[in-house]
């Protein structure tokens, strides 16, 4: 029989710990976010629809993005048992320099429209975390101001080759003068993809006010206050603004870019040169053979050609062809630290996060970006420890199986 007695207050209070109230709303909501998906939900509540959809959406039916995320979900890990991993080391070397984590922040355009701290928050958070930050040609903070926000960290620059080549050449020279150490030559945007959410929302720079826009903004007065009381939103490294996003990209991009342009930029650029937007094994091999410093397997986050190859599916075949010594990176669909661990195990040297970073930015500015990085870091450390590996170098293909529901149909 169990002995019954009246509760003793001293014992009860030993079991109960009342959390002190936190009156800082931003800190409270960010601490409650345990995953990138949690940050996404906060971002959606706090950001007008057009800005949120620009981040969240992709091209046409958004099939490429859905497939990329499914590819990461359809993996099986194979942990080693009785191999303690008590001190997990997440550091690596990428493109001639150190990184505290095996990922960096991807280039994103129009970033201050999502939240007014924009690239300044991203660059500062990246520098604090010891990871690279990549500024987009269509960034809303200038090359020079990104350097000021991240003076001791690693800054990379993503380049679009425009119809007016001199504009692109000028950006290359400015990035070099500002001490950016890596240039990402982007090849997957000869024209703009059909981003239907943006078209339906009338998304543009600067934002165009419509009755629908105003109604959607009423529950989000903080966003409009920030937008109206901070410097004008513009493409900070360029001079032309106005018109829809698709119209601007269409006028800026050039479908005639070629290997000759790559060679020209390579001759101009003093640092490491990476080609971003590689989507076939043949192109990966050709570029590595031409001596580029690295490639990024990417379908532009699913925002260009819908139903394009999934970078994570492409990764093992590319690594087998070019060798594990080549610098192969990837992006698209990364939403969990486990996605990054699986990529490294299959041969990627590095990953880039775009939407995951922007969800944090929209959820809480610089502190939100810090939170996104912290979430991914904790997931990486936990996954590695559960796999029984203490360093990234210990990760091998045997640790991961890709479970493909989208296997090709043979004739």
293: left (phi over 0), alpha (psi -120 to 50) or beta: alpha
Q: Identify the CATH assignment for 25-402 out of 1.25.60.10, 3.20.20.70, 3.40.50.720, 3.30.930.10.
A: 3.20.20.70
Query: What is the model's pTM?
Result: 0.91
Alpha-carbon separation of residue 155 from 147, 179, 180, 208, 410 (angstroms): 7, 8, 5, 32, 44
The reply to whether 300 belongs to the active site is yes
DSSP state letter for 350? E
Tell me what pLDDT residue 251 has: 63
pLDDT of residue 41: 97
Query: Cα torsion for 232, 236, 242, 243, to the nearest 10°?
Result: -130
Residue 53 and residue 204 in contact, taking contact as beta carbons nearer than 8 Å = no
Phi, psi torsion values for 241, nearest 5 degrees: -135, 175
Of the candidates 78, 128, 145, 300, the residue annotated as catalytic is 300
Cα(79)–Cα(302) distance, integer angstroms: 31
- At residue 241, the pLDDT reads 44
Burial of 8 (0-12, 13-18, 19+ CB in 10 A): exposed
**What pLDDT is recorded for position 347?**
97
Contacts of 365 (CB under 8 A, 6+ apart): 26, 115, 116, 117, 121
DSSP 8-state code for residue 204 = B
Residues 351, 232: Cα–Cα separation, whole Å: 32
Structure tokens at 279: 């989507």
Written as six digits, the tokens of 332 are 């698209």
The structural domains of the chain, with segments of one domain joined by +, span 25-402
Whole-angstrom CA distances from 273 to 80, 262, 293 are 37, 9, 5
pLDDT per residue as tens, the chain (411 positions): 778 877 777 777 776 776 777 767 788 899 999 999 999 999 999 998 888 999 999 999 999 999 999 999 999 999 999 888 889 999 999 999 999 999 999 999 889 989 999 999 999 999 999 999 999 998 999 999 999 999 999 999 999 998 888 989 999 999 999 999 999 999 998 888 888 888 888 776 556 666 776 677 778 887 878 888 888 777 777 755 455 555 566 667 788 999 999 999 999 999 999 999 999 999 999 999 999 999 999 999 999 999 999 999 999 999 999 998 999 999 999 999 999 999 999 999 999 999 999 999 999 999 999 999 999 999 999 999 999 999 999 999 999 999 988 777 654
Q: List helix spans (H) across 150-280.
A: 165-177, 196-201, 211-217, 221-228, 245-252, 259-268
Distance of CA 226 to the CA centre of its chain: 24
């Amino acid at each position: 029989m169990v002995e019954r007695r009246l509760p003793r207050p001293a014992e009860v209070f030993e079991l109960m710990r009342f959390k002190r109230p936190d009156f800082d709303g931003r800190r409270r909501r960010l601490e409650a976010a345990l995953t990138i998906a949690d940050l996404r939900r906060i971002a959606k509540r706090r950001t007008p629809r057009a800005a949120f959809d620009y981040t969240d959406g992709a091209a046409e039916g958004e099939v490429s993005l859905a497939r990329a995320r499914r590819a990461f979900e359809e993996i099986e890990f194979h942990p080693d048992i009785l191999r303690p991993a008590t001190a997990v080391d997440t550091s690596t070397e990428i493109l001639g320099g150190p990184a505290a984590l095996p990922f960096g922040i991807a280039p994103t355009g129009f970033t201050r429209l999502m939240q007014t701290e924009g690239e300044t928050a991203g660059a500062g958070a990246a520098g604090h975390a010891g990871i690279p930050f990549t500024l987009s040609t269509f960034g809303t903070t200038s090359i020079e101001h990104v350097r000021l926000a991240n003076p001791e960290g690693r800054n990379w620059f993503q380049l679009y080759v425009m119809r007016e080549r001199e504009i692109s050449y000028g950006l290359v020279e400015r990035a070099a003068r500002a001490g950016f150490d890596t240039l990402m030559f982007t090849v997957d945007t000869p024209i703009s993809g059909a981003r239907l959410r943006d078209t339906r929302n009338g998304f543009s720079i600067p934002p165009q006010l419509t009755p629908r826009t105003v109604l959607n903004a009423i529950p989000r007065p903080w966003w409009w206050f920030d937008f109206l009381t901070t410097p004008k939103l513009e493409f900070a490294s360029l001079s032309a603004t106005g018109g829809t996003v698709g119209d601007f990209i269409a006028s800026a991009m050039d479908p005639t870019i070629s290997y000759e342009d790559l060679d020209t930029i390579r001759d101009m650029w003093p640092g490491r040169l990476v080609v971003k937007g590689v989507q076939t094994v043949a192109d990966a091999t050709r570029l590595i053979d031409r001596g580029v410093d690295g490639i990024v397997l990417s379908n532009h986050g699913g925002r260009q050609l819908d139903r394009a190859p999934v970078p994570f599916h492409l990764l093992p075949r590319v690594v087998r062809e070019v060798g594990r010594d080549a610098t192969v990176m990837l992006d698209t669909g990364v939403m969990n630290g486990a996605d990054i661990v699986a990529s490294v195990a299959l041969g990627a040297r590095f990953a880039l996060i775009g939407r995951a970073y922007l969800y944090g930015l929209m959820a809480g500015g610089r502190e939100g970006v810090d939170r996104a990085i912290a979430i991914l870091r904790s997931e990486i450390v936990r996954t590695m420890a559960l796999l029984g590996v203490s360093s990234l170098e210990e990760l091998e293909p045997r640790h991961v199986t890709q479970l493909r529901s989208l296997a090709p149909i043979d004739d």
